[in-house]
Amino acid sequence: MKKIMNLGFIGIGKIASAVIEGLCTSKIENAILRLSPGNEENSRYLAKKYSNVTWLESNQDVPDQSEVIFIALRPPQAEEILTRLTFKENQIIISLILLLKYSDLSKIVAPATTICRAIP
Ligand SMILES: NC(=O)c1ccc[n+]([C@@H]2O[C@H](COP(=O)([O-])OP(=O)(O)OC[C@H]3O[C@@H](n4cnc5c(N)ncnc54)[C@H](OP(=O)(O)O)[C@@H]3O)[C@@H](O)[C@H]2O)c1
């Protein structure tokens, strides 16, 4: 049996919803997706549509319960929201934020050091 992948998402807008829909309709069967409360309507919709998607009540619940964390917030809000959260050293961070530089992001998500930017 394949190991379960615990994927978390912070910021459930247009781009995160597209990535989540893509993952849920792919051949990947061993992923559990945990979504932040914002946007609540999008998160609730996706959690209702896909059995492996869960909607969480706080942003901190996402890094608390995920190994890989996708960040898809808008640049003006991202820094403020992320600096309030606690990440762990062994987590993988995938940023979809176009205007957030690697050097700034790495300070915000420390002690996590495995960081990549995935700009579609
Ligand atoms: N769309 C694209 O094709 C695209 C392509 C490349 C890169 N990106 C990058 O992806 C990022 C997101 O873009 P987007 O188009 O998906 O924007 P978006 O639709 O506005 O999504 C941003 C989401 O963040 C949520 N949010 C706001 N405050 C929050 C909080 N305190 N906690 C948790 N979530 C919160 C918003 O929820 P509310 O709606 O409730 O405010 C919204 O759903 C941007 O940085 C952009 O540069 C987007």
CA of 27 to the centre of ligand 1 (A): 26
Question: What integer is the mean pLDDT of 18-38?
Answer: 95
Q: Is 46 a domain residue? A: yes
Q: Is 87 a domain residue? A: yes
CA of 11 to the centre of ligand 1 (A): 5
What pTM was estimated for this model as a whole? 0.96
Mean pLDDT of the chain: 95
Domain extent, residue 42, equals: 15-117
Mutate to test the pocket of ligand 1, among 74, 82, 98, 116 (most ligand atoms within 8 A of CB): 74
According to the model, what pLDDT value does residue 119 have? 85
Q: What count of Cα atoms within 13 Å lies in the side-chain half-sphere of residue 2?
A: 9
For the stretch 44-55, pLDDT in tens is 999 999 999 999
- Please report, rounded to a whole number, the percentage of residues in the chain having pLDDT higher than 70: 100
CA of 3 to the centre of ligand 1 (A): 30
Q: Is 37 a domain residue? A: yes
Residue 1 has pLDDT above 90, yes or no: no
The structural domain count of the chain equals 1
